[in-house]
Amino acid sequence: MFNNQTILVTGATGSFGKCFIKTVLEKYSPERLIVFSRDELKQFEMQQEFREHLDVLRFFLGDVRDQERLNRAFNGVDIVVHAAALKQVEAAEYNPFETVKTNVLGSENIIHAAILNNVKKVIALSTDKAVNPVNLYGATKLASEKLFIAGNNYVGKECPTRFSVVRYGNVIGSRGSVIPLFMRLKETGRLPITDERMTRFWITIEGAVNFVLESISDMRGGEIFVPKMPTTNIIDLAKAIAPDCKIDLIGIRPGEKLHEALIMADESRHAVEQETRYVIQSPALYRNVEQHDGSKVPDQFSYASDNLDQRLSIAEIQTMINAFVPAGVNV
């Protein structure tokens, strides 16, 4: 479904966006592939990296806060992948108003522009931090999820636009990942750990991109797609990367959790399990939508990173890291 389509990616100069653009160019033949971001230097660097594909690629400078620019950029677009966000937890705690403007008001702008331009499919990237949020970043992503799901209720009968969400955990190789940080610091002989009990979900950046592509193909509007993901204990992660380093326990930072969740118990009433993912189906849509097949999850089911059944061993983490390093990530 991606051949001969016009696809726009917001925040496309980030880690996910670059990998998404690369994957689509390798696997499909889109009519146009639009890089939408506010960083002119990164766009220039992408133009050099993908110069063999400039007949397909378009580079639009713009900010999701700018409704008028989005209205223009979405003209003639079939599929939108919304990856733009302010994502650093501590930065969001210190700059809450800026985070709300991008993550919440920017999401509203995306919805209005998509409906105005009859975009067929819009999928928004979310995070495990949106589940029972304790930090501002997570709260803004929860609000963003709610906006995109509710966006389906604003679509008129003659408009084809559908909105869905993908929710996953930490991405190996992204700029905010702790893995590059640990790999840089291991030469010092010491690693800072916030709390030795901490656990996190992990997905490779290629896995995230492929999951988003799969979700776009399957989306019907109003659902949240959640991949099945392994987890790690932070101490095991540190030992896998730098087994000889000493650990400095520095305490949990503002807005951090010990464990993350991808599905909370109250969402289980509307969730089904499939082979490689869960689908949380919206109970609040005003229009009839075909539901996804799958096994109903148990009542009060939750999907959290402290579940030992999905925990990686140190050896498995090392295999994961070894696959990550050759991917071209600058550590």
Q: Which residues contact 307 (CB under 8 A, 6 or more apart)?
A: 231
Pseudo-torsion of CA 280, 154, 208, 235, nearest 10°?
Answer: -60
Active-site residue 42, yes or no?
Answer: no
Cβ neighbours, 10 Å, residue 97: 7
Nearest in space to 262 (alpha carbons), one of 252, 253, 275, 271: 271
Please state, in angstroms and rounded to a whole number, the distance separating the CA atoms of residues 11 and 21. 11
Q: What span, in angstroms and rounded, lies between the C-alpha atoms of 104 and 98?
A: 10
Spatial contact of 53 and 24, defined as CB atoms under 8 Å apart: no
Distances in whole angstroms, Cα of residue 144 to Cα of each of 7, 121, 189, 199? 21, 16, 41, 25
Q: Which of 18, 129, 141, 257 is catalytic?
A: 129
Angle at CA 138, nearest 5°, toward 182 and 198? 40
Residues forming the active site: 129
